[in-house]
Amino acid sequence: MVTPTSCKAYVLVTRRFSSTTATQPPGFVEGNIGGVALPATSFRNAYHLGDLDGDGDLDIAVTNGSMSFFINDGTGVFSAGQTLAISNTRDGQFGDLDGDGDLDFLVVTTGANEVLLNDGSTTFTSSQSFGSSNSRSIGLSDIDGDGDLDAFIGNTSQADKVWTNNGTGTFSDSGQSLDANSFPYSVTMADIEGDGDFDAVIAKYGGGSQVFLNNGSGTFSNSGLNFAGSAQDAAVGDVNNDGAMDIVIANRPGQNPVFLNQVIETEVTLSGNDLLITDINGGTSNDRLTISADATDVTITDPVNLITTAIAGATGSGTNTVTVPLSAFTGDVKVMSLGGDDEINIDGLNL
């Protein structure tokens, strides 16, 4: 049986923009007149917006070392809501964690993280405390493709962790330990490689920001991309309208770069017994993947490291030449050329 798997190359091109002095745009006036004063904070991930009571307006959660909620009356005037006895909070995200249709909240702290379930009327109850790392940031998304929200949690000077949700708001450690000794100011979940699952973009203060790629079942691997600088945050979106997710990083200090994610289109040709896949989109690099076979082995020559995942049964994984014994698979090499979304299908292999 042939199982299609995506084989795409991505190039990140840097565009740098100078900072300018912003003035207040005309038409903005101060809101929350007559409302309760919102707390000051020294934490960058402190304010979070979501419709807590289902009345169609945006309320506020504040993680400024403590945990408090503020309720919007619909005109931008806020009243004090619930305050929970949770200390050393650093970040959090809204999401329907238990699948009951309202917004819950997952808050990360320098100790145990807390799952706060909403009863639908802005009353939150802690249903689970998990983890013991010095957590700094969080990204919620359906990491393992089972329809509920899981958590990628960035930890300071400790390994980042992936926690999977059983659908009722109960989280379990996936067993993955990623990128130890980092200082992750933010985690942004997005489909960076265009394969339909959520990858993780980690903005790190010092050491370079990184991208971790999801294999579709919730297991992450380091993409090898490293963005120099001391990042405070990252935003992901298609800034140049080409269908791929680009990355904008906010550094402190330094310039704030825009990284354009470019899918490399390929041409497939047959040369003797070799299958050649060559860049034809005018990119600056000659991306070429060659697959050849003899009586015992299939050899994959990958000079620019297009293959980023290990191949079961192969030798040389992670290098420019990978050898796979014929005993590792059966069948022919089949190629479907789909322009910017080419696929390579090899029976029994996972490329």
pLDDT tens readout for residues 263-292:
554 454 444 444 455 544 444 444 456 667
Q: For residue 223, count other CB atoms closer than 10 A to its CB.
A: 18
pLDDT value of position 25: 57
User: 0.85 cut: is pTM over it?
Assistant: no
Alpha-helix runs per DSSP H in the chain: none
pLDDT value of position 294: 73
pLDDT-derived band at 310, boundaries 50, 70, 90: low
What helix, strand, coil percent values describe the chain, rounded to 5? 0, 50, 50
pLDDT value of position 182: 73
β-partners of residue 33 are: none
Q: Taking residues 23-33, what's their average pLDDT? A: 71
DSSP string of 248-263, one letter each residue: EEEESSS-EEEEEEEE
Q: Give the integer Cα–Cα distance in Å for 294 and 311.
A: 18
Kindly state the percentage of the chain with pLDDT values over 70.
Answer: 69
- Mean predicted lDDT score pLDDT of the chain: 78
CB contact at 8 A, 234 and 201: yes
Q: Give the integer Cα–Cα distance in Å for 333 and 346.
A: 5
pLDDT value of position 108: 96
Q: Give the integer Cα–Cα distance in Å for 324 and 339.
A: 27
Indicate the range of 129-138, 215-224, 302-311 predicted with least confidence: 302-311
Ramachandran area for residue 157 (φ above 0: left; ψ -120 to 50: alpha; else beta)? left
Predicted confidence (pLDDT) at residue 216 exceeds the cutoff of 60: yes
pLDDT value of position 30: 82
pLDDT value of position 290: 66
First to last CA, the chain: 15
Indicate the range of 103-107, 121-125, 163-167, 274-278 predicted with least confidence: 274-278
Which tops the pLDDT comparison, 102 or 195? 102
Q: Give the integer Cα–Cα distance in Å for 158 and 179.
A: 8
pLDDT-derived band at 1, boundaries 50, 70, 90: very low
Residue 306 — φ and ψ, nearest 5°? -70, -30
pLDDT tens readout for residues 138-174:
999 999 999 999 999 999 988 999 999 999 999 999 9
Indicate the range of 97-101, 198-202, 241-245 predicted with least confidence: 241-245
pLDDT value of position 315: 67
Predicted confidence (pLDDT) at residue 250 exceeds the cutoff of 50: yes
Nearest alpha-carbon partner for 209 in 151, 140, 113, 137 = 137
pLDDT value of position 23: 53
pLDDT value of position 96: 98
What are the strands, taking DSSP E only, across 119-230? Answer: 124-130, 135-141, 150-155, 160-165, 171-178, 184-190, 199-204, 209-214, 220-227
β-partners of residue 92 are: 107
Q: What angle do CA 283, 287, 292 make, to 5 degrees?
A: 155
Q: Which two tokens stand for residue 45?
A: 């991930």
Q: Give the integer Cα–Cα distance in Å for 51 and 59.
A: 5
Predicted confidence (pLDDT) at residue 251 exceeds the cutoff of 90: no
pLDDT-derived band at 242, boundaries 50, 70, 90: confident
Q: Give the integer Cα–Cα distance in Å for 125 and 111.
A: 18
pLDDT value of position 223: 84
